[in-house]
Every structure is written in structure tokens, then in C-alpha cells.
Structure 1
């Protein structure tokens, strides 16, 4: 932090998508941009293009070479990528994919300065990025690789709804083969740890969704619930977590059962994100749990059809910033307590008995 304010890197994502528009509209509000120290990893040329298209007077950006030069009371921009970048609004291009990759790489290069507290990523076009040498199905897998963790959890967040997925950007036909008791348990461990550390929830209650319709109907509609999901739930509870399920997804969300749990784990992408975006599309945030860094992103995609029209809501971007700030501060409070835990009364009495 600088002067008590959280420092957040913002990677530009696809320059032809909605990212710049929602970011600049949000940062044009001085009351919002002064809440933290913004460090955009992107293009001053793209900033100028979108400010002109949208008729925005601000924000003015402070162009710097790296995170060491940022100003705590300005919107900073680390110039990265091609100097002759051409913005083609609403069109996926190779140049757009290259620019998105360059911004991510530059952010991680600046991690060496230990100035940045977190990362907010603007939406990317995964197909365009593949041509740029980005060989990952999405941000989650890339971030796990860059931070050296074995696994991470895509956790969609909106107020009291926190929803993770066991499998992410994979074809639906491969889901049943990918889920195992070990994988489900690992995702539950990541969710449990994140709910406690990042969201300050003590003893979180988690729900697990089924894979098959009607939770398999006791094997009539599939046996993954009995052979794969239930063993994982039992193992999680044995390990001290509080986990219930498996629940059929339609009834679980239709009856509002998700409100009784601190976290929900879905088996595959659309099983979780369809109800999530129905409930909280405009204000949803994509958070990557299990990383040593704090990373959030708006829950929407590039939205090419809306670019330049001035009608896209910046609310999801704002919520991504708010959540990143909250999690950075939560970790700053909780981590020192975990490093130096206060012994319980019972532990103190037991120690005295051993000494006596």
C-alpha cells in the first residue's frame, strides 16, 4: 500500500473489446479513482482513442516506465505492447491478442518491485490470444502458472453468492472424465481457505452441486454422485470442513438454497455461471482463489457488440476493484494473526499442566 491506499495493476485485456470503455468511464469519477492507486498496463494511444470516442474529459493518465515511478494520487499507465497499436473496435484481431498478452507479462515483470498489491484484469478474447503464444484456456490457468501454484479456483462473487467450479474452460463432453474425488476435494480446500482468509468467514459452510439431473436419482441417471462426488464431500468433512450435497443445481438455485451457504461448488462452467449471471450479471466479479496475489476481473466478456456506444455498464469493473481492495485488506489483517496466533485458554492450561 502507498499512503494507506491499495495499489492495483489493471491489465488492458482486448483493446478492441469493452474493457477500456468500462475502465475509463469508472476512472473518470474522481471519487472512485481516489479510493486506490490505479496502475494501468496498456496503451496511452488506446486511452486517447476511447476518451475521444466516448467524449470523456478524463481521466488524465500519468505515463510511467514501471511500477517504481507511479504517483499515489494519479491514474498511472505503464506503456506496454506495440507503439503503433491500431484499435479496431468490436473486432477480434491478432494485434489485440498480442496487446492483452503483453500487458499481463509486463504486470508480472513489475512484481519484482513489490509495489503492486493486486491485479484487476479486463476481459480478453481467448481465441485471439492463442495466436499470440498464450497457450492457456483462460486467465485462471495462466495466473496459476505465473505464480507457481499447482491449482487455482475460479470463484464468481456477488455480495453473498460465492460460486466456484471444479472444471473450467473445457468441453462439456469431457467433464465426467475429469472430475475425481481428489480434484473436488482440492477445489473445496481452496474454497475453504479463501473464504476464511480472503472473505474473513470463520467456519464457512459450503454446498456441492451434482453432475447429473436430479443428483443422479440414486444411480438411475448416472453414478458420479455416488462414486465420485459423495466420497469427496465425506473426505472434506472428515478433514474438518463443513460441506453438504450433492444438490441438483436446478432446485438448489430455484429454491434459493444458495443463500444458506458461504460458498457453492459447481461441477462445470455453465452449471455454475448460468445461474450466477442470471442472479448478478451486472455486478458480478471473477476472483481467482488460491493465488499468492489478489486477482479479480469483471464477470462479463469483451462484449464486442457494445463497444463505443457508451451503453455498457462499468459496474462490474467497479465491483472488481472494490473486491480486490477488500481482499487485500482482509489478508493484511488476517495473515499477521495466523503468523502469530493467540494461544487459546485451553492450550495455556495444558501447557501449565505439562510444566507443573
Structure 2
């Protein structure tokens, strides 16, 4: 990418009956955002115009046929559908799910082709997006299949980073899903992303236990003793700074999390409840492990406030900022990896 070119931020609109377009429009109402990046929204100028008027948001946008036609200094909108839609705020509808996935798939294709640099996704409803063509629990799983690499959900807020061994897995299936191979793979992903995407040369990673009190020596489950501990010991012996397992109930309350560059939680709520409590609505979901950069806000469709002009856009704005920073750090890492600095030997 040429230095004078702004980073192209591709944006999928999410569920149009939720708060997605509201937080997108509010984010780019601040014209200073256009000095930082060139937004490319995959959706419809007609629908965005309707919602802009309804929310009285002063965001102007420019319709384009494809992402490669995006103009710097403009909020660009790729018109990917001509069908009209009856906006029904707060309701889960088949049409909203269909449009959400069309926007997401088109944006992902642009990301894969390189006509956008990063992708920021507005929230979808995981139920109404299901169809014969899309059978994935969410964005992350689809991206893991379409883009190169193994994906890992990494929640980010400044120096707090929480990854998940298992993400959208029912609690009753968590223990069976956690294998030595999975643990090794997820640690490798989080270790590599800390180096290439966050510029941390020697990452320190904490791993939380699977069972309460890390199983209490087998009294409350044997998975920690039989699977997690020996696998972590093996990883430590390879040279990675991996620590744990730690009892999850006291780990965050004691502020021990501040001693690590990232925390790997065993399952969804074990990691996301403390993360969202500590991040105060500023958190970002980053899909680590892929050959492209994708972020999203840390909230859902928020049907309960949709259409009421009450949505806080800070998490979405942070998703844009974080995606840009990760992209820049990764580009720098690539340059350094190709041209490592040779040690200067002292002259004798």
C-alpha cells in the first residue's frame, strides 16, 4: 500500500432491525474519521438515507458500484441490493437476516480480493441469518473457512486481551471440545497474533482452568489435571511464556490479569463476562489467526433500543481504530520479517 493512501475500512451493516447502521452512521458523523481512513459500507444508500433522516445524523455518503471505486474523504456505500426493505426495529425477520449476510459476504469477498484493507462487521442475529447458503454460528466461523488460517476470537480493550479456547459451544460440550491439539493450536494463534498484530516480542499468556478451582486436584473434574496441565507444560518446554491454569473466579478480581499480555479462557462466558465488565462498552472483537484483519464491536443487535436513537457507538468506533492499528502493526511486522536487522559485529 502506498504511504499516501488511506486505509480502506470495509463495513458490513449487520441486522438492519438492530442498532448496526445507527452506530455506523454516528461513528462517521465525525468528519475527522475521514482523515484516518476511507470507509466503504456494503449496503444500500436508500436504506442508509432513511435511517440517517430518522436519527437526524449528519453523515453524508457517496454511492459507488464497487469497493475499488471508493474515494478518499468520502463515506462510500457499495449498493449491493436494490430491493426495498420494511425496517422493523427490534424484530428478528428473515429479510433482515438475508440482507445482513449479503452485506457480510460481499464485504468478505472484497477483503479477500484486497479492494478493502480491513473489515469491521456490525452485529448480526445468529438465528435469522441461517439458510441453505449460510450455516455458520457467526461471523468468525465463516471467516475461518473463507480466509486462510485458523480463527480465534480475541476480545481487546487497550492492554486487556481475552481469547477463547471454545467460543460458540454449548456449555455441556465444552469439556469434550477441549483437547491437547486444540489447546496447542489456540495458544499458537494467540502467541503469533500478539507478536505480529500487537508488536509484543515476548508475549506472556495466562490460561484459565476449565473447572472451578482448576478441578481441586480432581475433586471437581479431571480435565484440568489430565488435559490442560500436561499440555501447558509441554508448551512451556517449547519456550513460550505460557502460565496457568489459573482459577477463573479469582483471576480477574485480584488484578492478576494485568501481569499478562493476553488471557486464554476455556469457554465463552468465562472470558467475556469479566472482559465486558472491565471494558465498559469500549471493547472490540478481533478475529485473530487469519491472513486479513477483521474487527467488530463487543455488543449484539440490541433490539431493545433499536430505532430509539439511544445506541452508544463507542465500541464500533473502537473497532475501527483497533482494526487500523492492527493493520499497520502487521504491515510493519511483515517488513521487519523480510528485512531483519543484521547484528553489527564489533571491529577487531
Taking structure 2 as the reference length, what is the TM-score of the superposition? 0.96
Hey, what's the Cα distance between the residues in 1 that align with 2:310 and 2:25?
A: 13
Hey, what's the Cα distance between the residues in 1 that align with 2:35 and 2:107?
A: 21
TM-aligned CA deviation for residue 87 of structure 1: 1.6
- Residue matched to 2:53: 52
Hey, what's the Cα distance between the residues in 2 that align with 1:112 and 1:334?
A: 20
Unpaired runs of at least 5, structure 1: 350-356
- Residue matched to 2:30: 29
Q: Counterpart of 1:41 in 2: which secondary structure?
A: strand
Hey, what's the Cα distance between the residues in 2 that align with 1:239 and 1:339?
A: 24
CA contact (8 A) 2:34 2:72 kept: no
TM-aligned CA deviation for residue 115 of structure 1: 2.8
- Residue matched to 1:144: 144
Q: Counterpart of 2:294 in 1: which secondary structure?
A: strand
Distance 1:113 1:223, change over 3 A: closer
TM-aligned CA deviation for residue 342 of structure 1: 2.2
CA contact (8 A) 1:101 1:132 kept: no
CA contact (8 A) 1:82 1:99 kept: no
Higher helix share: 1
TM-aligned CA deviation for residue 83 of structure 1: 1.9
TM-aligned CA deviation for residue 234 of structure 1: 1.4
Hey, what's the Cα distance between the residues in 1 that align with 2:79 and 2:235?
A: 46
TM-aligned CA deviation for residue 4 of structure 1: 3.7
CA deviation string 1:49-96 (max 9, x = no partner):
21121112x211111110121101100001113522222111111111
TM-aligned CA deviation for residue 193 of structure 1: 0.3
CA contact (8 A) 1:94 1:132 kept: no
Hey, what's the Cα distance between the residues in 1 that align with 2:31 and 2:140?
A: 31
How many residues matched?
A: 346
- Residue matched to 1:76: 76
Taking structure 1 as the reference length, what is the TM-score of the superposition? 0.93
Q: Counterpart of 1:137 in 2: which secondary structure?
A: coil
2:127 matched to 1:124?
no
CA contact (8 A) 1:22 1:313 kept: yes
Distance 1:111 1:252, change over 3 A: closer
Cα RMSD of the aligned pairs, angstroms, is: 1.6
Hey, what's the Cα distance between the residues in 2 that align with 1:243 and 1:165?
A: 15
Hey, what's the Cα distance between the residues in 1 that align with 2:110 and 2:155?
A: 27
- Residue matched to 2:62: 62
CA contact (8 A) 2:40 2:75 kept: yes
Hey, what's the Cα distance between the residues in 1 that align with 2:124 and 2:112?
A: 25
TM-aligned CA deviation for residue 113 of structure 1: 5.0
Q: Counterpart of 2:116 in 1: which secondary structure?
A: coil
Unpaired runs of at least 5, structure 2: none
CA deviation string 1:219-245 (max 9, x = no partner):
111111111111221122122210000
TM-aligned CA deviation for residue 131 of structure 1: 3.3
Hey, what's the Cα distance between the residues in 1 that align with 2:226 and 2:343?
A: 40
TM-aligned CA deviation for residue 132 of structure 1: 6.3
Hey, what's the Cα distance between the residues in 2 that align with 1:100 and 1:17?
A: 11
2:204 matched to 1:213?
no
CA deviation string 1:103-124 (max 9, x = no partner):
1221233346533110000000
